[in-house]
């Protein structure tokens, strides 16, 4: 049987990038070719609360379980958020319990080639108040940002965190501002005082999501009414895009893919946006497996 790492392998053609979109209808695969949103279809029917990818590792949080690889169950139970770190898959339950997935074989250093799905073990590492998003070792929750360190969660600052990015220099967003981690959390960007009429997102100017590319250079954050992009880690200015309703975003090479709560996928490349309606209710997250 495959190990946990092998079960998460994602395969794609060289000329097409595949994004995974989490919605209440299921996990949808969307083909991205250049700046064009191409074919899409449901790959697994479920109530998908979140999807995360790092390299070829993929995890999905559903109302019943955490799925990995080819949507294989892990025995976690309901989850509201997932992330992928060096330690493995991290998941947050509706009650705020945070756990890490490993296999018995991998954990004790024995031959992982003999591990199977029955060896999957979730290890509790702590608890947070109202978990929202995970990325790498960071957890965004109502009681702030938390970091996985030495097998347990520790409070890392802020309050009412909406989302986090753990790629390169960590980023976090609250309803009030975007923060960069330096000598403590430094306020980097305030949202414009504008509104959105998109039914898929909460009205108001507050930040909803933040993401960075694999090296932590390019970054993006979105409010209900606009999306803000940083060209590289040394940039001090964030470029505003009038793209409303974005609930999550991810990078795919030079491209930026965003999804709206109303079910639209949008791709930005070479100075322009293209979008396509996916016809999905309650879109919650997007992830792009592979090295980007």
pLDDT, tens only, 29-40 = 999 887 788 899
Does residue 20 belong to any structural domain of this protein? yes
Looking at residue 191, its pLDDT comes to 81
When divided into structural domains, the chain yields a total of 1
CATH of the domain at 190: 2.130.10.10
pLDDT of residue 36: 83
When comparing pLDDT for 214 and 161, which is higher? 161
Written as six digits, the tokens of 174 are 């609250």
- Selected residue with higher pLDDT from 270 and 239: 239
Mean per-residue pLDDT, 152-173:
96
Q: Over 92-150, what HEC string results?
A: ECCCCEEEEEEEHHHHHCCCHHHCCHHHEEEEEEEECCCEEEEECCEEEECCEEEEEEC
In a domain, 145, yes or no: yes
pLDDT of 106 higher than 50: no
User: 31 pairs with which residues across the strands?
Assistant: 18
- The mean predicted confidence, pLDDT, of the chain is 85
Whether 292 maps to a domain, the answer reads no
Amino acid 282: pLDDT = 93
Domain carrying residue 69: 4-287
Between 104-108, 163-167, 245-249, 281-285, the lowest mean confidence (pLDDT) is in 104-108
The pTM (predicted TM-score) of the whole model is: 0.86
Looking at the predicted structure, is the pLDDT value of residue 10 above 70?
A: no
Let me know how long the chain is.
292
Is position 216 within any domain? yes
At 115, is the pLDDT very low, low, confident or very high (cuts 50, 70, 90)? very low
């Amino acid at each position: 049987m495959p190990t946990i790492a092998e079960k998460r392998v994602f395969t794609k053609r060289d000329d097409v990038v595949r994004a995974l979109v989490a919605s209440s209808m299921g996990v949808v695969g969307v083909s991205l070719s250049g700046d064009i949103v191409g074919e899409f279809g449901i790959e697994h029917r479920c109530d998908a609360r979140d999807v995360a990818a790092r390299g070829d590792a993929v995890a999905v949080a559903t109302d019943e379980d955490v799925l990995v690889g080819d949507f294989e169950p892990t025995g976690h139970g309901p989850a509201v958020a997932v992330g992928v770190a060096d330690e493995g898959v991290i998941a947050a339950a509706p009650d705020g319990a945070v756990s890490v997935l490993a296999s018995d074989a991998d954990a004790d250093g024995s031959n992982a080639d003999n591990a199977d799905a029955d060896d999957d073990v979730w290890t509790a590492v702590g608890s947070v108040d109202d978990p929202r998003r995970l990325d790498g070792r960071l957890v965004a929750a109502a009681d702030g940002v938390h970091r996985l360190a030495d097998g347990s969660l520790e409070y890392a600052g802020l309050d009412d965190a909406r989302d986090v990015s753990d790629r390169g220099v960590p980023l976090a967003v609250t309803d009030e501002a975007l923060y960069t981690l330096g000598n403590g959390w430094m306020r980097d960007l305030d949202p414009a005082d504008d509104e959105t009429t998109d039914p898929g997102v909460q009205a108001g100017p507050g930040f909803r999501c933040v993401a960075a590319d694999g090296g932590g250079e390019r970054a993006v954050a979105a409010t209900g009414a606009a999306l803000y992009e940083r060209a590289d880690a040394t940039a001090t200015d964030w470029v505003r895009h009038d793209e409303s309703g974005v609930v999550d975003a991810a990078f795919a090479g030079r491209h930026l893919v965003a999804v709206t709560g109303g079910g639209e996928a949008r791709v930005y490349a070479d100075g322009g946006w293209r979008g396509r309606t996916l016809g999905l209710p309650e879109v919650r997250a997007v992830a792009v497996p592979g090295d980007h």
